[in-house]
Structure 1
Amino acid sequence: MLSGVGLTYEIAAGRVLAPYFGTSLLTWTSVIATVLGGFSLGSAIGGFVAERPRPVAVRNVRAALVATAVLMAVSPTLLGAFHASGARGTGGMIVTVLVVFFPASVCVTLPSPLLAKLAIEARPGREGSSLGIVMAAGSVGAIFGAILAGFVALPLIGATATFAACGALALLCLPFLRGGASAQPGVTVAAAGFVAFAGIAGAPTCQFESGLSCLHVDDRGAQVRLVSDGTLQAAERKRVGEADDNNVELALSYTEWLWSRMDRDLGPEASVLFVGGGGYSLPTKLLASRPGAQAVAVEIDPLVTEVVQAHLPQAGAMIDRTGYDVTGRASGRRLGIAHADGRVYLNETQRRFDAAVMDAFSSGSVPAHLVTMETFERLRDIVDGPVYVNLLDRPDGPLARGVNAILRQVFEHVEVVDAAEIQTGRVNVLFAASNAPLAPLDRLPEGYRSIRISDARAFTDDRGWVGHR
């Protein structure tokens, strides 16, 4: 059981970190290294504990289980407190991960050596098979914990309740520890009460949560804003007066440039692929302004679509009116929705498109497998016209340079603009790439400028983008 608790905790730790520090190769590396480091230290300390007299060893293991329960249940609160205190960037993320997740990782594995010793002593003369069974049981428990976290706990009950559940499972191990000094029921009851309080009364990390997304809807002010893992994903201006379904206003400046480019480049019956549904703002604008156009939006998380339908009025109305599942028949509808990974859809689709918009994000960065040479070569094979790309990066940053290198190798004509800096020091870097010449725009949205990106190595599936931190 403890192995399952440990792996569930590890996966939940990576998930709950996203709203504060994003999701990238660096964040997951930090979480995995920290938790495995805790497991290692806990096993080492547990080995010394197992050599103590039985009553002392059992008492120490009971204390470790109680500490595990409390530390796991309080993890989301500690994480929020560190972020609120100013922890930012790679250094702040690493310190936060160490302080928040390392102690519980030590405590959860401390009982393991004693349990292995007890199993060996129970079968004299068969020490080898006993130890093998214990190790196999630990591996099976870890597999079960990983599956439970990713497929059940996080999608169904959320991160805060998952941490509390891990603590509760640790406490449930206490009755199985027999021998030694009698347990202190007051301490156990207090720990159980704290874990229950943390699970029930603890503030959820996310307003809407799935195994893929942590979403918040900000309905204050003149806009409805959709935030995913702490990064602004989409926005709609609130309508004043009678609604006009054919007049869709774009709230974010980067979408204004993308739409200006699309409006200039595409015909009245264009078929456009959108990799990354987000707030469905651009598909909504396309279909509202071009009654003969069609769109397919590939959004990996069904929860995003559900939240958009419920809280972004214009996009939600468009989905309700003309959206359909691309695995079924269109029945005269024009907005196909595929809940799938963008790269998987690209690899499997047999459809052809007049243009494509690459606007998929995981937290504050583009998933690495969507910015590789192989991805854009596949796009070139199924898209007859231009490809538009939205990135967040530092001005002339490494992500922009790698994507620029890809596009200039795959397409004959590439246009690049960027916008004013945002709070993180990164900007929207926008590309339009085509094998046909791109007609110049009459004007750029306010704050945008044409730029030149430095030369760099193109990303590939083998040597790709590692993500922002």
Structure 2
Amino acid sequence: MTATSATRTDAGTTPHRPPRGLLELIVFVVGTASLGAEIAAARLLAPWFGASTIVWANTIAITLVSLSVGYALGGRLADRNPTLSGLARWVLASSVFFAAVPFLAAPFLRQSVRAFAEYSGGLFLGSLVGVGAMIAVPVLMLGVVSPYAVRLKVDAVEDTGKTAGRLYAIGTIGSLTGTFGATLVLIPLVGSQRTFLVFSLLLALVSVPALRGPARVLGIVVTTAIALLIVVPPGTTKTVTDAGRVIDEAETEYQYARVIESDTGTRVLELNEGQAIHSIYRPDDYLFGGYWDAMLVAGFASDTRPTDVAILGNAGGTVARGLTHYFPDVRVDGVELDDKVSEIGREYFGMTSDRITTHTADARPWLQQSDRTFDNIMLDAYRQPYIPAYLTTREFFEVTRARLNPGGTVTVNVGHVPGNDRLEKVLTATMRAVYGEANVWRDPVDDTNTVLLATTSDADPREQLREADLPADVRPVADTAADRLEPGLDGGPVYTDDRAPVEWLIDASFAAVAE
């Protein structure tokens, strides 16, 4: 039975002839929406669970399972009601569910994070439930389309293979269009919320010509409502904060960022889930305690005074601003993957010194391709729970050593859950494989941050810090850091580019704390 004859049966004595090629267009748009929505869903999850391979694996798994269930259901439905209007009703229903996703995501995920933090702490389960609740139902509905379309399009049994192959090819081209359209165009230009709404609108638009009677009227109403939602400005992603008021926020190509200003004028930069402060600013202050101060002085724990400093993961430039304020001879190259974060640093965090040069680049490729050498290389790119594995390996630290001047140092900010030192031990062992057993030191700054220091000098870093010529404001910071410094922890495997299971390490640490 063809699509045309099917709609004639459905319409009774008044045949309804949909536009030629409409079925193929529906299949293409459904393919576009299914993969585009997967990309957009991962972006919705990132502010709450990060963007690690575990989160991506869960997103892909939920999408595949939902599509599989939809395929099975679609075959049954097509046999029971082989009409184009019957198929279009499923497409219209999926558009409604997709339109609801971005509005339900934030409150649901906020509660999900709180629940799992309090009871299980499982990143894996949290992200799985989050993705499942958001996209499983509408993706399942889209899965109905492929077998339904094959059933409607097949004219004769001997044409089944050719027809099915053609429709699946059209759907796959649609999926590619949705993947690259969402990644390269929609999310950067209009954000995750409107990306979902654009896909919802496309689904509603292609379903309307195939609907009849009251169903078509409903389709027109749904299409109009979704179009109106697209022009509504997205709300603040996370409006509840005890730290102050949100004075700027942005959904960038890589993450969600917001600037919060307290009643006292202190500004902080939060990224993604907001469980950590990545930069801090007060107009007349350059020391803030915590790991920022430890990173600022760590480069002086050598017999070479640092003048050329590279900061990998510069964020809003808190440490860079402090270095260029206290040390007029210091030049800083700040490497930050996200150019929007660098803009925020210049606008809100005082990163305006002409001795700070910012680079929009990924840390390791930038360092590998650079022909510069430095006195101190700082790594502050570990943002739990999404730590780039390629920044934890022996090969990476070999690159850092190759870019150091004689007597140079590498300092690494290691964030961790309280009481868990597994990541620190792994990094210590990996750094020792490059810098030597006696040349890796730890500064346990607080319960959640340890600064690791690797030196290329045989001098005792504690003595170097105590003897360094420093401004009066910085001297107590250096003395305190020297008192904390101790040899690195023993234990832990050496990570390599071939094997660096950092995601499992981090997720296990969260689960262990919650037990």
Partner of 1:153: 186
**Structure 2 residue 404 is matched with structure 1 residue 383:** yes
Query: Aligned equivalents of 1:235 and 1:299: distance in 2?
Result: 13
Letter in structure 1 aligned against 2:174: G
AA matched with 1:217: V
Q: Is the 8 A contact 1:13 1:101 kept in 2?
A: yes
The answer as to whether partners of 2:441 and 2:485 remain within 8 angstroms in 1 is no
Secondary structure of 1:50's aligned partner = helix
Unaligned runs of at least 5 residues, structure 1: 323-333, 422-426
1:298–1:338 contact (8 Å) kept in structure 2: yes
Matched residues in 1 for 2:483 and 2:59: separation? 38
> Are 1:195 and 2:229 matched, yes or no?
no
- Residue in 1 aligned with 2:41? 13
Superposed displacement of residue 303, structure 1: 1.0
2:137 is equivalent to residue 103 of structure 1: yes
In structure 1, what is the equivalent of residue 207 of structure 2? 174
Pick one of 441, 452, 461 that aligns with 2:497.
461
For 1:271, the equivalent position in structure 2 comes to 308
Q: Distance in 1 between matches of 2:421 and 2:102?
A: 32
TM-score (norm 2): 0.78
Q: Greater CA radius of gyration, 1 or 2?
A: 2
- 1:188–1:449 Cα change, 3 Å: farther
Question: Is the deviation greater in 445-454 or in 280-289?
Answer: 445-454
Q: Is the 8 A contact 1:388 1:431 kept in 2?
A: yes
Q: Which has the higher helix share?
A: 2
Partner of 1:221: 263
Aligned to 2:368: 347
CA distance in 2, matches of 1:251, 1:194: 49
Q: Name the SS for the 1:215 alignment partner.
A: strand
The 1-side partners of 2:209 and 2:384 are apart by 42
For residues 25 and 53 of structure 1, what CA distance do their matches in structure 2 show?
41
Matches of 2:484 and 2:54, distance apart in 1: 30
CA distance in 2, matches of 1:265, 1:164: 55
Correspondent of 1:212 among 247, 251, 254: 254
| Partners of 2:306 and 2:376 within 8 A in 1 | no
| Alpha-carbon distance between aligned partners in 1 of 2:382 and 2:191, rounded to the nearest angstrom | 21
Alignment counterpart, residue 141 of structure 1, candidates 174, 190, 202:
174
Q: How many pairs were matched up?
A: 436
**1:181-210 CA-partner distances (Å, limit 9, x unpaired):** 545134324433543454425525372012
1:250 and 1:461, CA in 2 relative to 1: closer, same or farther beyond 3 A? same
Gaps of 5+ in 2: 1-28, 239-248, 467-478, 508-515
Q: 1:287 aligns with which of 319, 324, 327?
A: 324
Please list, as runs of the form range in 1=range in 2, the aligned pairs for 1:112-127 lying within 5 A after superposition.
112-121=146-155, 125-127=158-160
CA RMSD between the two structures? 2.5
Distance 1:197 1:391 in 2: 46
Deviation at 1:214, TM superposition (A): 0.8
C-alpha contact 1:87 1:96 (8 A) present in aligned 2:
no
Residues 355/266 of structure 1: CA separation in 2 closer, same or farther (3 Å cut): farther
In 1, the alpha carbon distance for the partners of 2:227 and 2:483 equals: 50
CA contact (8 A) 1:296 1:336 kept: yes
Do residues 418 (structure 1) and 435 (structure 2) align? no
Q: 4+ runs of 1 displaced by more than 4 Å?
A: 266-269, 445-452
1:462 CA drift (Å): 1.4
Give the C-alpha shift of residue 451 in structure 1: 7.3
Once residues 391 and 116 of structure 1 are traced to their aligned partners in structure 2, the CA distance between those partners, rounded to angstroms, is: 54
The answer on whether the counterparts of 2:89 and 2:207 sit within 8 Å (CA) in structure 1 is no
Q: Is the 8 A contact 2:79 2:151 kept in 1?
A: no
Matched, 1:54 2:54: no
- Amino acid of the structure 2 residue aligned with 1:221: D
Mean Cα displacement is larger for which, 225-234 or 401-410?
225-234
Letter of the aligned partner of 1:128 in structure 2? G
Per-residue deviation at 1:66?
2.3
CA 1:448–1:174 in structure 2 vs 1: closer, same or farther (change >3 Å)? farther
Pick the aligned partner of 2:359 from 338, 341, 349.
338
Amino acid in the other structure paired with 2:104: L
